[in-house]
Amino acid sequence: MSVRVTLNCQVKPEQFPALLPFLQENLPNVRGFKGNMRVSVLFDEANNEMLLDEQWLTTQSHQAYLRFISDNGVLAALSAFLSAPPVIKYFHKVEV
């Protein structure tokens, strides 16, 4: 069963326009990573908050991606646009 992953990111004031080209360059890599099913980007202008809403095959596949971008410097580059580390949460569908 797949897992929904959310990353809540507090973007530094006035940095979202500069962040957009970075996202456009790097989101294809996320989408092409083994286990990724979907990535959407949402932004709340009033609070400078970005939500990365992702669907992965497993929690482990997402964590493998995090290790990959930590090792290659992409995570550090993303962090430069943020005022705090992303808050990452994993959600599993509940049948009710």
CATH of the domain at 26: 3.30.70.100
Average pLDDT, the chain: 96
- Residue 84 in any domain: the answer is yes
> How confident is the model over 39-64, as a mean pLDDT?
97
- Residue 71 in any domain: the answer is yes
pTM metric for this prediction: 0.93
- Residue 7 in any domain: the answer is yes
The number of folded domains in the chain is: 1
- Residue 38 in any domain: the answer is yes
> How confident is the model over 43-49, as a mean pLDDT?
96
- Residue 49 in any domain: the answer is yes
**CA gap 4, 36 in Å, rounded:** 10
**CA gap 51, 41 in Å, rounded:** 6
pLDDT at 1 over 90: no
- Residue 96 in any domain: the answer is no
pLDDT of 15 reads 95
Residues spanned by the domain of 51? 3-91
